[in-house]
Amino acid sequence: MIRETDLTGLVWGARLFLVIVSLLLLAMFFFVLWLLVWPVITEFFRARSAGDMWLPFLPREDGSYGPLASNRWWALFRAPSRGSAGDLAWRWTAWVLTSIGLVVGISSGVWNLGRLLVRGWV
């Protein structure tokens, strides 16, 4: 026979688990935003203020690349020199669409996480 205190402990344990998982998921969501979306925003404004939209994709003075072309997965975005407007457009389009997709996806995930918390709390 299950006592009331055992059931209460189980309910609060499930609620604590939901809160911990929710906090971990929120941390993961915001880490992805900080890692991928924030550099796109900052590099856009840096390039705009410099008056050169190619700036994030060109090598720096020391030969390294900025955050939008720095690692081997994003080496496709690197440009040895300024190219055509079409080359610049596909680079920025890819990054902007990726950022928008991540923001929409993460917003949906946070919304669904909130719904899960509300349903699990009752």
Residue 78 confidence (pLDDT) above 70: yes
> Cα(40)–Cα(52) distance, rounded to whole angstroms?
15
What is the residue range of 106's domain? 4-121
> Cα(9)–Cα(107) distance, rounded to whole angstroms?
32
Global pTM reads 0.78
Count: domains in the chain: 1
| Pick from 119, 117, 111: nearest CA to 29 | 111
> Cα(39)–Cα(33) distance, rounded to whole angstroms?
9
Please tell me whether residue 65 adopts helix, strand or coil conformation. Answer: coil
- The pLDDT, as a whole number, for residue 4 is 67
3-12, 22-31, 63-72, 79-88: segment of lowest average pLDDT = 3-12
